[in-house]
Chains A and B, each alone.
Chain A
């Protein structure tokens, strides 16, 4: 007995000595919006998520020294690219994470490639990150416009909402969302009756909503984000559009937006996300711990993506005992992903992280059991159907292989 425990102790000592030899230090930069429109979906919460990933992974015990820094890109590509440059050039940052706002994400994507570092995006929507602009250095974790279109667009048509009218925010992101959703609607046998380009950012959507109403379409697709979405949903309720039977489809709505609208206004809204705190025991367990550290606010899917992405990165560091970009990226793409928040999945050659997406409907106030009880699950969209097929993204990395 004694001998056995002695042997075990020796083995542990040997192992930890080995680990100590392979001491790796990695520096993670969480770059996101800490003061603007997306501060609630990413912001400090993403930093907390990153810290929790390092702790849950027990990085220290495994001989990986994780340092986390953060900064505010203010949703401006110039600010974001400046910080990214400085982090890579001067401060020895190895990985940049999160980066909501497509314009900033695309800028950081470019710089990361130039400097040959790693970029794990969770916050941005642009499917270009794994499409024409894909790089060997980027992983796009949580969601993209194609997933949103497939989720909300596809499901609505299947549920009988086969005629659509779009309220499209008049800028590149709005146009992309409309284009992707239109493709899905048409593919599923639906019809788009028309669309109207609304000035961005807008306050008053009533006249556009009336045009949507006049079109007699069954579904009004909101190809906009943030304040525009909130305003248009609020005013649709006011003009009795939802009561008259037309359905609203929010193409980019986060749980924080639903909080801002209140269930009374948002009820019945259909939306797609790839994570919700109340999905299963594992997500609930994580979310409770997270909320305790984040002023009681539950994690959003973007914050969950930061947690899961960093966990996977650390696993690759542990497995390869290195932080060489090419080695790690190869390992991350080769090794299947498995984490408590998104379950099992893979990272494709174009950098797309594959996992299921979920179609939710916002609960009625009477159905909600608590402050954060916002959604009911309508259906689960398997990863292969949720994301764009590998060969349709025009990613140069795919053509080569």
Chain B
């Protein structure tokens, strides 16, 4: 058997393939972050929590509604995306607003509703959270309608560091609620029947499900790239990224575009969560540590670059896979080391434009 550095080539090939699978998750997650960052200019710290929510929604659909994996693949991103839209409308977009009442109204009504449902009626954390978000959204919308004359949302990127802090706080809340509701040891979720089993390639046993993950994530990534780079909607989006005021002047509803984009980015995170549910443990902390790695991926790729995030996501998955063969102890740090090197040579990241 031929060997490279003492490792059989066949085994090496198997490990590369596995690296590609991990890279798929990095790619979808960093793509979502990049899309959001491009238009909103915030680093979405809630991304890990939303990835976790995707997995949990899949579990809930199965156990409460009897809907299996394929339905979850469709419904979970939409459901989590809607929560994202509510949060964006009422909190994130309000960071730049001169009217603090909407966000305050949203927070207070949501907390009160939550307490009423959770303590008063005795619903579970998840249901109470959903009810709280809905009631908060209604109050927020009503206020926005009542006071529409007085509100001026300053355009552009006011205080994007506050965006980071805001989403960090939201992540704490969401993770805390799920931990309260479901403990930390995780929930079972099986691989869908159609995708059990695997192919024996001779050099390794490749589970069908892993193959599906790679294909699905490639399709999602390329489709997103296509929409943003080649369609009219994507053109609006890129225009709004470059100059929101001018784009607004051309009659495009930029705030709505921003909201949709955030919802979409969050939906991508939830999709990754559903893809992960059958192979990784479904627990409230599943996104918390992953997200830091994904941040590093985004920094290496160049923040906001769509193509950069996809390529680096897959690429770093491969590099991590190789590290696991040659020096497993370093496999959790290798991405950060690469990040430091890239920053020394190209501070804007591999695909980023210099600021």
Contact = CB atoms under 8 A, between A and B. Distances in A.
In the complex they form, whether A and B have CB atoms below 8 Å apart is answered with: yes
Nearest to B16: A207
Interface in A230-246: 230-231, 234-235, 238-240, 244
Residue among A43, A230, A244 with most chain B CB within 10 A: A230
Given A197-B329, A204-B18, A265-B190, A260 B324 contact: no
Contacts of B179: 35-36, 39
B328 A196 contact: yes
Residue among A202, A206, A213 with most chain B CB within 10 A: A206
A35 B209 contact: no
Interface string B175-189: 010011001111110
Nearest to B325: A207
A265 B324 CA distance: 25
Interface string A214-235: 1000000000001100110011
A264 interface: yes
Nearest to A38: B184
B46 interface: no
B290 interface: yes
Nearest to B207: A238
B185 A204 contact: no
A236 to B, nearest CB: 11
Given A39-B183, A39-B184, A227 B328 contact: no
B15 interface: yes
Interface string B153-180: 0000000000000000000000010011
Interface in B86-123: none
B18 A238 contact: no
Contacts of A240: 197-198, 205, 207
A196 B324 CA distance: 9
Contact of B281 (A41, A197, A234, A239): A234
B328 A206 contact: no
B320 to A, nearest CB: 9
B191 interface: yes
B300 to A, nearest CB: 19
A279 interface: no
B245 interface: no
A57 interface: no
Nearest to A209: B18
B18 A206 contact: yes
A199 B331 contact: yes
Given A35-B179, A238-B207, A265 B188 contact: yes
Contact of B186 (A198, A199, A201, A230): A230
B14 A210 contact: yes
B215 interface: no
Interface in A249-294: 254, 256-257, 259-262, 264-265
Interface residues of A, number: 43
Nearest to B317: A204
B185 A230 contact: yes
B281 A204 contact: no
Interface string A92-124: 000000000000000000000000000000000
B14 A231 contact: no
A74 to B, nearest CB: 11
B64 to A, nearest CB: 17
Contacts of A235: 279
Residue among A39, A227, A261 with most chain B CB within 10 A: A227
Interface string A175-206: 00000000000000000000011110111101
Nearest to B14: A210
B190 A226 contact: no
A261 B188 contact: yes
Interface string A138-179: 000000000000000000000000000000001000000000
Interface string B15-51: 1001101100000000000000000000000000000
A318 interface: no
A204 B22 contact: yes
Contacts of B15: 207, 210
A43 B19 CA distance: 37
Given A36-B179, A39-B183, A256-B185, A262 B328 contact: no
Nearest to B196: A238
Contacts of B188: 259-262, 264-265
A262 B11 CA distance: 31
Residue among A43, A197, A201, A234 with most chain B CB within 10 A: A234
A199 B184 contact: no
A227 B198 contact: no
A264 B184 contact: no
Contact of B184 (A35, A196, A206, A244): A35
A238 B209 contact: yes
A238 B329 contact: no
B171 to A, nearest CB: 15
Contacts of A227: 184-186, 281, 283, 285-286
A40 interface: yes
B184 A36 contact: yes
A254 B186 CA distance: 13
A88 interface: no
B127 interface: no
Contact of A204 (B184, B191, B280): B280
A260 B185 contact: yes
Given A37-B185, A204-B280, A260-B187, A210 B285 contact: no
B185 A226 contact: yes
Contacts of A41: 185
A37 B325 contact: no
A372 interface: no
28 contacts: A35-B176, A35-B179, A35-B184, A39-B183, A198-B328, A199-B328, A203-B289, A203-B290, A204-B18, A204-B280, A206-B21, A207-B14, A207-B325, A210-B14, A213-B205, A214-B11, A227-B185, A227-B286, A230-B185, A230-B186, A234-B281, A235-B279, A238-B191, A238-B198, A239-B205, A259-B188, A260-B281, A264-B190
Given A37-B184, A260-B283, 15 more contacts: A35-B179, A39-B179, A170-B328, A199-B328, A203-B280, A210-B15, A227-B184, A230-B186, A230-B281, A238-B191, A238-B279, A240-B205, A256-B185, A260-B186, A265-B190
A-B interface, 4 closest residue pairs, ranked by CB to CB distance from nearest: A262-B188, A199-B332, A230-B281, A260-B186
